[in-house]
């Protein structure tokens, strides 16, 4: 995929250099760790020390065409998905029956089993410690920063003409990232498409026709362009609502109150996180403290009499310790974040945080509501109605209309689920994706790898042809594969042109919700967007995992 030398009349290298300069000036960057000579050392042994530098985040040089109607539809779904997550989190019976039990996800996936165990012990009082052990957690409020990811899926109408429907890929309820960087990607793309409007017009319009059809013409020359991304206003605003709610509920102590960001050690997506931190201070005067789960084991203490979570001072002086009002997890979504195992210090830190009266983002219930198995169960007939009562039929249908085909591979698999699996094993593997209960990208199975993984865990009765599912498959779901429109993109990685070619995109819509311990919703809104773009031959889609780039929608 060698890039052309120009786009319109402008050299491509010049446009890329302009984008890199914009990225540097606006913080559209990721951190990179390097080794440098230790000038402070008197040794001549050439000792090295680690230092941080910054480089342009992985981006698409220009925005990608996206239908305005489907963009607005995604925005409109945000508040209902927020509410759905909140209601699921309070339904322990549903979470237990969906994720637990013989032949369920927790039989095959130790990580989800640990999450559900803690949820049951803390929120349902089912552990050996009794109901008092989770008392303060049950009295705490909840903050959600969700992101629902969608693709356009191709369909044909009665005249055999292709059109696209918005379908949900997944719902992320923990560590939903790239809100900060996406705001600046949208700014970059508005700048480039206005500053170099004539030079890039043919490229943009060609992509619009690729998505909308070759006969597409803008109405009266209308150019909707790249919308404003409100993520850095909306997400800190929700955190401020949660912070203020904590302030109002609990009598002020002598300790300063902070928001705790739980982060990964060695994190490179720090700029994205810092944008939230800096906006919290500049707009709301709320200080942030960053800490890993490992460090939290020794630096956090829980007052067992009040449920107050404190950050210890460096010198041990109680007058200098800080009180945690809100905990925002940007780590803890993967088994890799708990390297010391089930009884290790990282899980002990998570347990200590969860048992406190601090508002968690997410609490364990919200976290579990974002698992793939819950997503699959929600697509079953009648399940959404469990969470939305009479008078909400239109909301239920709008949510259900966004679901792709989702099929269980556990002990609760229906004949319809088995039929889909049989189709995947009989030459239809290209129509499905095999997905585990994992976040972060890089874990899915496609094509031949899907067939191989399934066949390793399926037995077929030679006489009845009945399929018997192995227990290891319970941690997976089978999902309909989506086929979005392809359009040309120029992708940059580390500031260099990676290539130009056919790409596909995935839209993420952020949503924020703050609810009280008894389920009263104080705040619920759409909170911005993210677009990720990758070359068409790439199956996985994570930016941080190296598969995709950040882009933004050019509405048409």
Task: Tell me the Cα Rg of the chain.
Answer: 24
Q: Is 532 annotated as a binding residue?
A: yes
Q: Is 443 annotated as a binding residue?
A: yes
Q: Is 506 annotated as a binding residue?
A: yes
**Structural tokens at position 28:** 């559209």
Q: Is 243 annotated as a binding residue?
A: no
Q: Is 87 annotated as a binding residue?
A: no
* Neighbouring residues of 525: CB distance < 8 A, sequence distance ≥ 6: 78, 79, 82, 234, 238, 511, 512
DSSP structure string for 78-114: HHHHHHHHHHHHT-HHHHHHHH-STTSHHHH-HHHHH
**Structural tokens at position 426:** 């009989």
Q: Is 164 annotated as a binding residue?
A: no
Q: Is 534 annotated as a binding residue?
A: yes
Q: Is 508 annotated as a binding residue?
A: no
427 dihedral zone (left: phi>0; alpha: psi -120 to 50; beta):
left
Q: Is 257 annotated as a binding residue?
A: no
Q: Is 372 annotated as a binding residue?
A: yes
Q: Considering all CA atoms of the chain, what is the largest pairwise distance in Å, rounded to the nearest integer? A: 78
Q: How many CB atoms lie within 10 A of CB 303?
A: 14
User: In sequence order, which ranges of 356-441 are alpha helices (DSSP H)?
Assistant: 364-369, 372-378, 393-400, 415-425
DSSP structure string for 266-290: T-S-HHHHHHHHHHHHHHH---EEE
Q: Is 435 annotated as a binding residue?
A: yes
Q: Is 385 annotated as a binding residue?
A: no
Angle at which helices 447-455 and 415-425 cross, to 10°: 120
Q: How many CB atoms lie within 10 A of CB 229?
A: 25
The DSSP call for residue 225 is: B
Q: Is 437 annotated as a binding residue?
A: yes
User: Binding site membership for substrate: which residues?
Assistant: 273, 532
User: Binding site membership for ATP: which residues?
Assistant: 372, 435-444, 446, 506, 534, 540
User: Binding site membership: which residues?
Assistant: 273, 372, 435-444, 446, 506, 532, 534, 540
User: Binding site membership for Mg(2+): which residues?
Assistant: 439
């Amino acid at each position: 995929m060698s890039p052309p030398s120009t786009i319109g009349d402008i050299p491509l290298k010049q446009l890329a250099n302009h984008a890199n300069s914009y990225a540097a000036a606006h913080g559209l960057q990721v951190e990179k760790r390097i080794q440098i000579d230790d000038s402070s050392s008197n040794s001549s042994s050439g000792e090295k020390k680690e230092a941080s530098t910054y480089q342009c985040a992985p981006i698409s040089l220009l925005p990608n065409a996206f239908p305005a109607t489907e963009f607005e539809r995604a925005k409109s779904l945000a508040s209902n998905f927020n509410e759905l997550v909140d209601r699921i989190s309070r339904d322990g019976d549903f979470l237990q029956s969906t994720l637990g039990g013989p032949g369920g996800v927790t039989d095959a996936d130790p990580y989800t089993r640990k999450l559900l165990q803690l949820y049951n012990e803390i929120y349902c009082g089912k552990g050996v410690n009794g109901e008092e052990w989770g008392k303060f957690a049950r009295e705490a409020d909840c903050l959600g920063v969700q992101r629902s990811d969608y693709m356009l899926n191709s369909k044909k109408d009665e005249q055999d003409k292709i059109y696209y429907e918005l379908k949900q890929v997944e719902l992320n309820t923990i560590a939903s990232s790239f809100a900060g960087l996406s705001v600046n990607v949208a700014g970059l793309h508005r700048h480039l498409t206005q500053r170099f409007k004539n030079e890039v017009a043919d490229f943009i319009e060609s992509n619009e026709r690729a998505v909308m059809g070759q006969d597409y013409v803008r109405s009266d020359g209308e150019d909707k362009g790249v919308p404003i991304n409100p993520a850095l206003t909306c997400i800190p605003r929700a955190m401020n609502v949660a912070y203020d709610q904590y302030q109002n509920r609990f009598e002020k102590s002598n300790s300063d109150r902070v928001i705790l960001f739980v982060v990964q050690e060695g994190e490179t997506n720090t700029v994205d996180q810092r944008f939230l931190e800096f906006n919290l201070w500049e707009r709301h005067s709320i200080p942030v403290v960053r800490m890993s789960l490992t460090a939290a084991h020794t630096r956090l203490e829980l007052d067992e009499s009040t449920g107050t979570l404190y950050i210890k001072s460096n010198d041990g002086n109680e007058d200098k310790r800080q009180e945690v009002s809100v905990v925002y997890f940007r780590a803890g979504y993967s088994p890799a974040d708990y390297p010391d195992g089930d009884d290790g210090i990282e899980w002990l830190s998570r347990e200590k945080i969860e048992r406190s009266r601090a508002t968690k983002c997410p609490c364990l219930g919200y976290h579990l509501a974002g698992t793939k198995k819950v997503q699959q169960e929600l697509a079953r007939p009648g399940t959404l109605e469990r969470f939305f009562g009479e008078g909400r039929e239109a909301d239920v249908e709008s949510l259900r209309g966004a679901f792709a085909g989702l099929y269980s591979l556990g002990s609760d698999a229906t004949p319809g689920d088995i039929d889909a699996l049989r189709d995947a094993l009989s030459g239809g593997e290209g129509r499905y994706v095999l997905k585990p209960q994992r976040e972060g990208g890089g874990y899915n199975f496609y094509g031949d790898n899907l067939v191989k993984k399934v066949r390793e865990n399926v037995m077929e009765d030679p006489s009845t042809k009945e399929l018997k599912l192995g227990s290891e498959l319970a941690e997976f779901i089978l999902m309909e594969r989506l086929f979005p429109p392809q359009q040309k993109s120029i992708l940059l990685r580390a500031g260099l042109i990676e290539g130009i070619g056919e790409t596909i995109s995935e839209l993420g819509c952020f949503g924020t919700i703050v609810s009280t311990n008894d389920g009263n919703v104080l705040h619920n809104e759409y909170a911005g967007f993210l677009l990720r773009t990758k070359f068409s031959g790439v199956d996985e889609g994570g930016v941080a995992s190296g598969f995709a780039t950040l882009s933004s929608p050019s509405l048409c």
